[in-house]
Structure 1
Amino acid sequence: MESFLLKKLVERALAEDLSYGDRTTEALFHRPVPAVGEIIAKGDLVVAGLDVFQTVFELLDPTIRVEVNIGPGQKAKPGDSIGSVYGDGRLLLKGERTALNFLQRLSGVATQTRRFVDQVAGTGAKIVDTRKTTPGLRMLEKEAVRLGGGWNHRFHLGDMVLIKDNHIALAGGVANALKEAHVSLSHPFKIEVETTTLAEVKEALQIGAEIILLDNMSLTEIKQSVELIRKGASGVKIEVSGGVRLENVAAIAGCGVDMISVGALTHSAPAVDISFEMKPHSEKK
């Protein structure tokens, strides 16, 4: 994410907590309190969101120093120190929850992604995300997917032509939608079409889709579709979506598909448990 956009996003997040000040900290501490806060993993996780975490404290005070021990995309175990934050304890207290909210959420996305990626290792299938993201956080969540070893699908509706079920319903079928897309387009974007039956897969092949999405198909239907596509056209990419879980993703990948899109990477990833433990600190040696 561009730095100015990240700054605006973090400013809005800080405003949720600090628009009326921090009554507790202001009541207890009337002068600077040199302190250090340690970022500690409470479970197995993949780190993501450190740039946002750091931006929170930079906006509160540019002199606050963040030292990282476990970098973005790296694994942390329970008890590991991900990093430390040095500065005025009053500001660490004010930024603690906002910074952790970002770090826990984005590390949760990266951790969830890594679980799916590990399941399909060696198959040649890529785990890709969707647009089922938290409003306003798409760029951050998609970066977290990459840090977890996944790949990004569309960032927005202008990225490619993806003909889905509602487009097909309004156009009067897969064939009609594809024909209109081919006629109307005057740009080089690829055309992907969603299919739910073997009959629709055949239509997509006949009209010339470059990527065929197999949506909510059974494992048997996926295998049959892959065989049909591989025999019918060279270079056509195959994506699977719908009903993908950790328990079945390896079997789906084993069918020979190119991509498996998983909305759960972002819309259902649980935040991981990370603590921020503070204590007085002196820079003197």
Structure 2
Amino acid sequence: MSSRKPKVIAYGFKHFRVENNKRVAVCKICGKQINDVISTTSNFVRHLKSHKESFTEYQNTTSIHIDPLQPGTFQLEHQQIKDDPYSPISMSQPQLDLSHSIPPHAITRLVRDWLAEDTPNFDPAGVCVGSQDVEATLFCKSPCSILAGIPFFTAVFTELGCTVEWMYQEGADLGPGAVTPTAVVRGPARCVLLGERPALNCLARASGIATRCSKLQYITSKAGWQGQVAGTRKTTPGFRLVEKYAMLVGGVSMHRQDLSGMVMLKDNHVWASGSITQAVMDARAVCGFSSKIEVECGSREEGSEAAAAGADIVMLDNFKPEELCVAARLLKEKFPFLLIEASGGVTPSSLLEYLSPHVDIISLGCITQGCPIVDFSLKVHKTVFEPFYGESKS
């Protein structure tokens, strides 16, 4: 028998067989049949990612094979990663096409505004390159990033008469490589270069937010918390649609979109109204049954007043983690159907401290404020041009 040491065995796969010239496996965890698991790693890895708890060690899978010493057991060659609490969960196969949530006219309006901002009149550099067709490759230069913003990036180039061919789907983990080819843009040279910066700016920002959201989701899912991580309205003026969409791609709640959505009565509303009870009553008279009312509270007593007045959600703002857990538990005991949100000063490094079975939502301004971007670049393929004047030398 060979002395070769078996490699790390993948979680729970069995019953390898060949059917109609296709390799088939059955997942030991859920019993699902996986086709073509050897010819391509995508189906295999994608299915493992659906079992997030089990897939933690194998996020950087590079290949799979069968160990001849243990027939029927799939194995992985992978780069072992450290147990990083901020490692992103890939959302590479979202169940919904999130781009359908964006009205086409909204994308068109944004794209035209971005292009007009960047090129308000003449484009002198366009004379240098002309309108010959070129190809340019989009590269991601930030390892382990989540791709977000495809609809906006594509719309920029569509507006300019170019096409984009993507190598990854929205929400994909672009992997650990230092440089990852991500898409190819084709079109007239001057148009590709006109769209380059607006498209890259959008993609970099959206992917940065989605990556941070994915990491936050990983922290809470690993801890077994059943609540929702949420964004805020602390967004870039004029760019909220993109940033809220990126939160969706990253797997967190967008919270309310704007002031016309869910009613949130903050401290200034309460002080201007005279009391929490009065503010809730006035808001309910306007919004009726169709909107929830949330009240920002600085103490458990204020939370109790808000709930008694008919608030649907109480935000416990700027509580220390230990005080938050106690206040949330006491409020839930008195008002079992009340939703409780924690907010104020929560960061990725402190998020675990705020997790409580009595807290339903944790909102973080850092999802959009101070969030790092993902570094992308667009490189036109070099082309050798024939001279268009003078005589060529034989």
When normalised by structure 1's length, the TM-score is 0.91
Q: How far is 1:116 from its partner?
A: 1.5
Question: Superposed, which structure 2 residues align to 1:112-261 within 5 Å?
Answer: 112-121=212-221, 122-182=224-284, 185-254=287-356, 256-261=358-363
CA distance in 1, matches of 2:287, 2:137: 54
**Contact between 2:139 and 2:180, CA under 8 Å: does it hold in 1?**
yes
Conserved? CA contact 1:123–1:256, under 8 Å: no
Residue in 1 that maps onto 2:54:
none
| Superimposed CA distance per residue, residues 174-221 of structure 1 (whole angstroms, 9 cap, x where no aligned partner) | 233234444555333222111111221222233232211111111122
Q: Counterpart of 1:90? A: 190
Partner of 1:72: 170
The AA in structure 2 aligned to 1:53 is F
Name which one, 1 or 2, has greater alpha-carbon Rg: 2
1:38 aligns with 2:102: no
CA RMSD of superposed structures (Å): 1.9
Q: Deviations over 1:134-160 (max 9, x none)?
A: 122212211100000111211121212
Task: Give the equivalent residue in structure 2 for 1:5.
Answer: 106
Larger relative contact order, structure 1 or 2 (CA cutoff 8 Å, min sep 6): 1
Which residue pairs with 1:273 in the alignment? 375
**Within 2, Cα distance between the matches of 1:281 and 1:114?**
39
Over 4 Å off, 4+ runs: 182-185
Tell whether 2:133 aligns with 1:25: no
Once structures 1 and 2 are overlaid, which stretch shifts more, 202-211 or 231-240?
202-211
Matched, 1:47 2:147: yes
SS in structure 1 at match of 2:340: strand
Shift of 1:22: 2.2
More helix by share: 1
Secondary structure of the residue that 1:23 maps to in structure 2? coil
Are the structure 2 counterparts of residues 256 and 248 from structure 1 closer, same or farther at C-alpha, using a change threshold of 3 Å?
Answer: farther
Distance across 1 between alignment mates of 2:107 and 2:366: 24
SS at match of 1:83: strand
Instruction: Give 1:17 shift.
Output: 2.2
Higher deviation after alignment, 134-143 or 199-208: 199-208
Identity of aligned residues (%): 33
Q: Which amino acid aligns with 1:20?
A: N
Q: Does the 8 A contact of 2:148 with 2:207 survive in 1?
A: yes
- CA drift at 1:19: 2.3
- Unaligned runs of 5+ residues in structure 2 are 1-101, 385-394
Number of aligned residues = 278
Q: Which whole-Å CA distance do the structure 1 matches of 2:242 and 2:228 have between them?
A: 20
State the 1:280 CA deviation: 4.0
Q: Which residue of 2 aligns with 1:108?
A: 208
Give the AA of the match of 2:344. G
Measure, in 1, the Cα distance between the counterparts of 2:300 and 2:129. Answer: 68
Measure the CA separation in 1 of the matches of 2:105 and 2:382. Answer: 33
